C-alpha cells in the first residue's frame, strides 16, 4: 500500500467506540422501534442520547465543538447502531449533510452553526434535493431561488425530504441561474442553509409522506419563501459541485450501515437456525438453511473490506469515487441476501412484528434504491472506471 493507501484495519476496529455505541443501543430494543412505527414518530430519545455522547458530532472538528474523528470511525458508529437492531438513518443524514457546511461554508457560518449542531442545540438532518419531476436527474430540478436585495425568494417543491419536520435546519439545492442561461446543466445551482423554524408557515410547508419504513419522510412546498442572502453556502452557482463533494462520504457511511444490518440479520438467522428444531434436529443442520446464511456472511465480509478501503482512500485524500460507489452497491446487495436468508430461516414467524425481522427487512430493501440506485452505480463504473460510453 505504501503512500497510496492508509493501512486498512482488519477485524473489529475501534473496539472501544463500538462498545460505547452498543451500551446505548441496548437501551432501545425492538419494542422501542416498533412503537415508533405504530405512532409514525421520530426517535427523539435515541437521537438525544447519541448526540449527548458526541457520536453525531464525530466528523465535526474539535475547534467547532465536535470530536474530529475520521470517516471510518463515523462509519463504525453507524454500523454498530444497525448491527444492534436500531436505525442509524438520522445519524448518517446529519454526518454527511453537515459536511457541505464544513467544507464550503464561510468561517462565520461554521462558527455559528457547527457548535450548535454538535451540542444538539440545533438539528441538521434534512436535505432538500429530490423533486417529483427530476428524481436523480438533479441538474433538471425546478426549484428557483432569485436574489432580491438582502434576501433570496425561493419557489418550488421537494420530495422524500426525510426528517424535515424534526430538523431545525435544512440544506437546500435550488437553481439560481435559469437553465437556458448556463453552459452546462450542472452550472447555476446553489446551496442554502435554511432555518426551518423561521420558514415554516412563512412560505414553507411540510407535509408527511406515509411510507413503508418509518424514516419520517416529507414533501416540502416553498411559495415565495424569503431567506436571508447569507443563507447561501459558498459561491452562487457552484452548488452542484458542493453536493457532489459530499457524495463519496455519504456512500461510505450508508454502505457501513448496510454491513451493520447484514450482521444483525445473520446473527438472528444463525441463532434461530440453531434453536429451532423440526423432525428432531435443528433446522440449521439443513444445507438449504445453512448455506444462504453462510453465503450472506461471506458477501458481507467482502463488502466490509471495500467499505474500509474506500474510507482509507477518503481519509488519505485519494480518489475514492469508484470504491465508495462499489461499496454501496455490494453492501446493499449483501445485506439484502442476509435479510432474505433471515426471512426464510424464520419462516412464518418472520412476519410476526415481535421478531423485528420484517421491520429490518423492509428497511434493508431501500438500500438498493437510495441514496443511489444499483443501476446508477453500474453506470458510473461502466463509464468512469471502465471507459465505456455514457449509458444515460
How is the chain split into domains, by residue range?
2-124, 126-237, 241-385
**CATH number belonging to domain 2-124:** 1.10.540.10
Distance CA(341)–CA(346), nearest Å, equals: 9
Q: Check whether 2 has a pLDDT greater than 50.
A: no
pLDDT, tens only, 243-268: 988 899 999 999 999 999 999 999 99
Percentage of residues in the chain having pLDDT higher than 70: 97
Q: Check whether 3 has a pLDDT greater than 50.
A: no
Give the residue among 243, 231, 234, 222 at the shortest CA–CA distance from 152: 231
Topology match between the domains 2-124 and 126-237: no
**Residue 386 backbone dihedrals phi, psi, to 5 degrees:** -95, -10
pLDDT, tens only, 347-362: 999 999 999 999 999 9
Distance CA(339)–CA(19), nearest Å, equals: 24
User: β-strands 189-195, 232-233: how paired?
Assistant: antiparallel
Cell digits of residue 176: 439560481
Does domain 241-385 sit in CATH 1.20.140.10?
yes
Cis? peptide before 59, omega within 30° of 0:
no
Does domain 126-237 sit in CATH 3.40.50.1000?
no
Q: 191, 211 in Cβ contact below 8 A?
A: no
Which pLDDT band, with edges at 50, 70 and 90, does 134 fall under? confident
Sign of CA dihedral 374, 376, 379, 384: negative
- Rg for the chain, CA atoms, rounded: 21
Amino acid 8: pLDDT: 65
Amino acid 1: pLDDT: 40
Indicate whether this model's pTM tops 0.85. yes
For the chain, what is the mean pLDDT? 95
User: Between the CA of residue 129 and those of 97, 117, 125, 223, 314, what are the distances in Å?
Assistant: 11, 21, 13, 16, 24
* Residue located via cell numbers 475520521: 70
Distance of CA 265 to the CA centre of its chain: 19
Amino acid at each position: 500500500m505504501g503512500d497510496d493507501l492508509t493501512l486498512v484495519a482488519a477485524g473489529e476496529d475501534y473496539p472501544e467506540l463500538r462498545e460505547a455505541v452498543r451500551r446505548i443501543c441496548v437501551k432501545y430494543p425492538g419494542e422501542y422501534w416498533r412503537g415508533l412505527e405504530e405512532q409514525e414518530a421520530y426517535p427523539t430519545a435515541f437521537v438525544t442520547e447519541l448526540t449527548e455522547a458526541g457520536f453525531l458530532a464525530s466528523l465535526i472538528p474539535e475547534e467547532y465543538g465536535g470530536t474530529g474523528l475520521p470517516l471510518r470511525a463515523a462509519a463504525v458508529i453507524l454500523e454498530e447502531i444497525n448491527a444492534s437492531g436500531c436505525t442509524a438513518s438520522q445519524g448518517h443524514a446529519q454526518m454527511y449533510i453537515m459536511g457541505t457546511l464544513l467544507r464550503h461554508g464561510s468561517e462565520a457560518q461554521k462558527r455559528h452553526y457547527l457548535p450548535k449542531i454538535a451540542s444538539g442545540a440545533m438539528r441538521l438532518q434534512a436535505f432538500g434535493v429530490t423533486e417529483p419531476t427530476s428524481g436523480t436527474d438533479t441538474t433538471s430540478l425546478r426549484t428557483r431561488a432569485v436574489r432580491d436585495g438582502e434576501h433570496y425568494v425561493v419557489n418550488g417543491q421537494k420530495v422524500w425530504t426525510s426528517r424535515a419536520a424534526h430538523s431545525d435546519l435544512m440544506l437546500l439545492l435550488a437553481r439560481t441561474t435559469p437553465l437556458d442561461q448556463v453552459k452546462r446543466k450542472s452550472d447555476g445551482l446553489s446551496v442554502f442553509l435554511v432555518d426551518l423554524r423561521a420558514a415554516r408557515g412563512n412560505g414553507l410547508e411540510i407535509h408527511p409522506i406515509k411510507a413503508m419504513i418509518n424514516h419520517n419522510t416529507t414533501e416540502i412546498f416553498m411559495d415565495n419563501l424569503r431567506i436571508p442572502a447569507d443563507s447561501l453556502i459558498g459561491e452562487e452557482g457552484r452548488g452542484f459541485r458542493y453536493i457532489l463533494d459530499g457524495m463519496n462520504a455519504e456512500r461510505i457511511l450508508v454502505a457501513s450501515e448496510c454491513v451493520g444490518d447484514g450482521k444483525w440479520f445473520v446473527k438472528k438467522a444463525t441463532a434461530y437456525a440453531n434453536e429451532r428444531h423440526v423432525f428432531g434436529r435443528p433446522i440449521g443442520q439443513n444445507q438449504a438453511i445453512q448455506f444462504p446464511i453462510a453465503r450472506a456472511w461471506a458477501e458481507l465480509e467482502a463488502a466490509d473490506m471495500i467499505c474500509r478501503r474506500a474510507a482509507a482512500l477518503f481519509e488519505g485524500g485519494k480518489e475514492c469515487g469508484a470504491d465508495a460507489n462499489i461499496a454501496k452497491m455490494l453492501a446493499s446487495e449483501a445485506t439484502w441476501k442476509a435479510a432474505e436468508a433471515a426471512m426464510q430461516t424464520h419462516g412464518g414467524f418472520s412476519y410476526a412484528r415481535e421478531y423485528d425481522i420484517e421491520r429490518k427487512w423492509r428497511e434493508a430493501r431501500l438500500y438498493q434504491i437510495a441514496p443511489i440506485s444499483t443501476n446508477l452505480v453500474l453506470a458510473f463504473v461502466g463509464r468512469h472506471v471502465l471507459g465505456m460510453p455514457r449509458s444515460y
